[in-house]
Amino acid sequence: MMPLSMSERTDEDDLLLWILVWSELTAFSILFFGYLVMSVLHADNFDIARLHLSPRLASFNTVVLLASGWQAALAARETASEFSRRVSLLLTAGLGFLFVVLKFVEYRSEWRFASEDSFRSFFELYFMITGFHLAHVVFVGLLFVVVAMRPQRSNIVMLATVWHVIDLVWLVMFPLIYLG
């Protein structure tokens, strides 16, 4: 795939994009630091609590989110026709919503362990971090559906970039919480 052309983007677009990107990354950095500090302070409880998570389902969800990011990149191509942009945008949103459904399936099996005293701090942080990420997936997924109705390229490029950043946050969160 060819890189996107710079000519259509204005300085205002760039500024807004960077603000969006860095506000996301800063918010998640704070949460990740909180998680790291707590996982060092309560290492045993965190290690045992983590055994109740579903790394297989989370791995599958990683593939779903990456496939969704790929569709977002296809939608942002300069050469894409309006029809193929619409299809890619709807596939991006659809895969994003599949991610959300699978995450709720995962939550259902994990929820019962959250009330145990020794696991409480782990699951509070776990639900806060993954829930905040999930809220982003839902919101930007809905925006993809809205943009698919009138697929203007500048909007697609902005949304696709934010979507890739949301992917990136998951790609750091997944090893931090499930594999680390």
Partner 1 sequence: MDHTPGGLLWSCSAQWKQEALPTIALVVVLALTLLKTRLIILDFMGLRNRSPRLAAALAAWPVFFAAVILAKALLPG
Q: Compute the distance between CA of residue 180 and CA of residue 172 in angstroms, rounded to an integer.
A: 10
143-147 long-range Cβ contacts below 8 angstroms, 24+ apart? 144/72, 144/89, 144/90, 144/92, 144/93, 144/96, 145/89, 145/90, 145/93, 147/89
Binding mask 89-128 for partner 1 (x = CB under 8 A): ----------------------------------------
62 near partner 1, rule: CB under 8 A? yes
6 near partner 1, rule: CB under 8 A? yes
Minimum gap (Å) between residue 144 Cβ and partner 1 = 15
Q: Which of 53, 64, 160, 166 binds partner 1 (CB under 8 A)?
A: 160
Q: Which of 64, 76, 137, 147 binds partner 1 (CB under 8 A)?
A: 76
Distance of CA 50 to the CA centre of its chain: 20
Q: Which of 14, 47, 82, 124 binds partner 1 (CB under 8 A)?
A: 14
Report yes or no: 48 and 117 within 8 Å, Cβ to Cβ.
Answer: no
Report yes or no: 159 and 72 within 8 Å, Cβ to Cβ.
Answer: yes
Q: Compute the distance between CA of residue 85 and CA of residue 80 in angstroms, rounded to an integer.
A: 6
2 DSSP assignment: P
Q: Compute the distance between CA of residue 148 and CA of residue 141 in angstroms, rounded to an integer.
A: 11
Stretch of 88-96, 106-114, 140-148, 164-172 lying at the interface with partner 1 (CB under 8 A): 164-172
Minimum gap (Å) between residue 14 Cβ and partner 1 = 5
174 near partner 1, rule: CB under 8 A? yes
* Binding region for partner 1 (CB under 8 A): 1, 3-6, 9, 14, 17-18, 21-22, 25, 29, 32, 36, 39-40, 59, 62, 66, 69, 73, 76, 157, 160-161, 164-165, 167-168, 171-172, 174-176, 179-180
